[in-house]
Structure 1
Amino acid sequence: MSAGGRKLRAGLIGLGAMGRNHARVLSGLDGVDFVGVHDPAGDPGGLLGVPVVAELADLLALGLDYAVVACPTAVHEPVGLELAAHGVCALIEKPLALSVDEARRLVEAFESRGLVAGVGHIERYNPALRSLRTRLEAAELGEVFQVVTRRQGPYPHRISDVGVVLDLATHDIDLTSWVTGQEYVSIAARTASRSGRPHEDMLAAVGQLADGAVVNHLVNWLSPLKERSTVVTGDRGCYVADTLTADLTFYANAAISTEWEALRTFVGVSQGDMIRYALPKREPLLVEHELFRDAVDGKDSGIVSLREGLRTVEVAAAVLSSARDGATMRISASEVPHPRRGTPVHFAPGALVDE
C-alpha cells in the first residue's frame, strides 16, 4: 500500500516462463493492483484476469507505478528506457542488459529521474544464501578462502538470445559478491558450445576476489543432473548451500588427537561436526516482489540496485572476453554500493584489463 493509502499499480512485460511466475505473484501481492501485461503474442485465453496488450504504449496508458520487465534480455534496454521516460519504476529481470554499455544507459536513465529500479537476481532471496550471508557477515567462518559454485542442468528451451554466461553464471557472479561482500578483481574462463546452438552452453571459470579469496564457477546446460550448489570454505570449516532445496549445512574443522604417528604430523584440517540448519523457507520470488514493492513505496528494503546489476554485467563481460581471448582479465573496481553495507565505495571507472 502506498504512503497515500492506495494500492500501487503494477504491470508486467513478458509472458514467458518467468513472466508467468511474476504474474502469479503479482496477482496476489498485498498492497498492489496488478493492472495489465504487455506481450506481443496477445492474451493467452484471458487466464490472468487482467488485460494483455500487444503494445507497450497500451500498458503505459493504464497508469503504472511500476513494471516488472521479464522479456528477453535483448530488449531490456529499449523497454527500460521507455519506462524511465514515462516515470515508471522497474524491476528488471537479470541480467540487467546484454552489454555493459546498455546496462550503463539503463542506470543513467533511472537514476537521472530519481526512479526506483532494481534487478531480479533472485538467488539473493533464497533462504539458504540469506542465512549464509548473515553468518559470513558475523565472521562465523573466519577468513574466507574459497567460493565454489556449480550450476548445471538440461538446456531450457525458453532461452535463445544469450548463453550460459549471461543467463546462468550471472546468478553465481552476483551471489558470490553479495554473500562475501567482496568484488571480483580478476577472472579466467573457458567456454564451449556442444549442443549446436549459437551461444556457449558450458563454462568453467576461476577468479579472485578483492580480499584474496579464490572463486570457481562451473556452469552448463549439458547435464541431466540439475545442480545448484554454493560452497564457501574458510579457516573454521565450510558452508554448503543447496539453493534447489534451500538447505544450508556447516561442516566444522576439528582438532582431534590421535595415537597414529603417521597422521599426528599432518598439518591441516580435520573432519568435525556437521550441522544442517533449520531455516524458514519462503518463496524467493515472493520475497523479491515484497521488497521491491516496499522500495517503490519509499521504504529502505535492500533491493538489488541497477548499479549492482551493472557490476555483474561487467564481470560477465570479462568472463566472455577471457574465454574468447584465452587470457586472464583484471576487472578494475567501479563505484557500486557495497553489497554488504549498502553504501557507495569510490573507485576509478570500471574497465577490463587484459593481463
Structure 2
Amino acid sequence: MMTLRAGLLGVGMMGRHHARVLRELDGVELVAIADPGGDPHGVAGELSILPDIDALIAEGVDIAVVAVPTRYHEDAALKLASAGVHTLVEKPIADTVEAGERMVAAFDAAGLVGAVGHIERFNPALQELRRRLEAGELGSVYQIQTRRQGPFPSRIADVGVSKDLASHDIDLTAWVAQSDYVNVFAQTTFKSGREYEDMIAVTGRLASGVIVNHLVNWLSPMKERVTVVTGEKGAFVADTSTGDLTFHSNGTVPLEWESMKVFRGVSEGDVIRYAFPKREPLRVEHEAFRDAVLGEPSDVVTMAQGLRTLAVVEAALESARAGSSVAVDAP
C-alpha cells in the first residue's frame, strides 16, 4: 500500500480526533496541520501549526481533512480541489446548498475523491442494522424514527441544531433505508437566545414509502442517540452512543390475558441484543476515505450524498418557516 501524505485543517474539538486517527492509520502519514487559532488541545506534536489552507497545500499533501466551522468549508474545499487534493470535509458539507453544489462540481471536474464526514454511517450498531435489513431479517420496513437530544454545545456557533445534528439522522436514515426523502414537514424552536434553532421535529416520507420521524434538540439534559426501525417482523433499536443493536420481534404466542389484548395489536416476542465487533466509527470512516482515494471498494460518503442530505435539511427549515409540507428537490 502506498503512503498518502495527509494534511489536517482545524484541530478543535473534532479536529483533534482526526489528528489521532490519521497518525494511527495504515497507509497514511500526517505531515501538516493548519489552524489560524493555534493548537488548543496540543495535538500537533512535532509538527508546526500552519496559519491557513494555502500553507497546508504548499506542504504537498495527497489528502486533506477539513474540520473547521461550516462557513469555511467551501473556500477550503475549492482550494484543495484546485490543488488536486482528495478531501474529506466534516459534515454538513457546506452552509448552503449552492456552496455544496460548487464543491461537488469542483471535485467531479478534477476527478478527485470528495467526501463528507457523516460519521454515523460508520457506527457499528447502524452498520449491523443495515446488514440485517439487507438480509431481510425485518421484512418490509414501515417506519424509521430517530431521537438525538442533549445539552447545548458551546463549540457550535455558526449553524443551528438542524445542520449540526439533524443532518446525522437524515443521512443515516436515507442510507439505512436506501431511499431518498421526497417530502418533509418540520417545526423548530428558538429557546437559547441564538439566531439559530435549537430544536427541530421533522416528519416525512421516503421514495420507498417509509415514514420517517426525527426529534433533535440542544435543550435536553439527557443525552440520547437512538434509531428505531419498525417493520413487518418487529423493530430494531440502535443506540449509537453505545454501539448496541437490539431486535424486538413480533410475538407468536397468543395472549391469554384478555384485558391485555385491548392494548396490544402485536404481541411481544423475543428481545435479542446482538454481539458483534465494535470498531471506532472515526477510524472506519478514515479507512473508507483512504480506500476510495486508492481506488479500492469503499463505502465513503460522497460529496453528492452529503449535498443531498443538506438539501433535505434546508427543505425542513423551509417547512418550519412556511408551516407547511415541502417537497425535497434533488440538488
TM-score by length of 2: 0.96
Partner of 2:35: 39
Equivalent-residue separation in structure 2 for 1:267 and 1:193 (angstroms): 38
Equivalent-residue separation in structure 1 for 2:260 and 2:68 (angstroms): 58
How far off its partner does 1:46 sit?
7.1
Residue identity matched to 1:255: T
- Where does structure 1 differ by over 4 angstroms across 4 or more consecutive aligned residues? 43-47, 259-267
Match for residue 177 of structure 1 among 169, 174, 177: 174
Residue deviations 1:153-174, cap 9 Å, x none?
A: 0111110000000000000000
Equivalent-residue separation in structure 1 for 2:164 and 2:300 (angstroms): 20
Match for residue 240 of structure 1 among 228, 237, 241: 237
* Secondary structure, counterpart of 1:17 in structure 2: coil
Quote the sequence identity (%): 57
Q: Give 5+ residue unaligned stretches, structure 1.
A: 335-349, 351-355
CA RMSD of aligned residues (A): 1.6
CA contact 2:11–2:43 (8 Å) conserved in 1: no
How far off its partner does 1:22 sit?
0.4
Q: Superposed, which structure 2 residues align to 1:85-96 within 5 Å? A: 85-96=82-93
Q: Superposed, which structure 2 residues align to 1:290-329 within 5 Å? A: 290-329=287-326
Partner of 2:66: 69
* Secondary structure, counterpart of 1:10 in structure 2: strand
Alignment size in residue pairs: 330
* Secondary structure, counterpart of 1:272 in structure 2: strand
**For structure 1, which segment, 128-137 or 23-32, has the greater mean C-alpha deviation from structure 2 after superposition?**
23-32
Match for residue 10 of structure 1 among 2, 6, 13: 6
CA contact 2:254–2:267 (8 Å) conserved in 1: no
Q: Superposed, which structure 2 residues align to 1:202-351 within 5 Å? A: 202-260=199-257, 268-332=265-329, 334=330, 350=331
CA contact 2:100–2:307 (8 Å) conserved in 1: yes
Partner of 1:84: 81
Partner of 1:122: 119
CA contact 2:33–2:44 (8 Å) conserved in 1: no
How far off its partner does 1:265 sit?
8.5
1:19 paired to 2:34: no
* Secondary structure, counterpart of 1:244 in structure 2: coil
CA contact 1:43–1:51 (8 Å) conserved in 2: no
Residue identity matched to 2:4: L
1:196 paired to 2:187: no
TM-score by length of 1: 0.90
Partner of 1:341: none
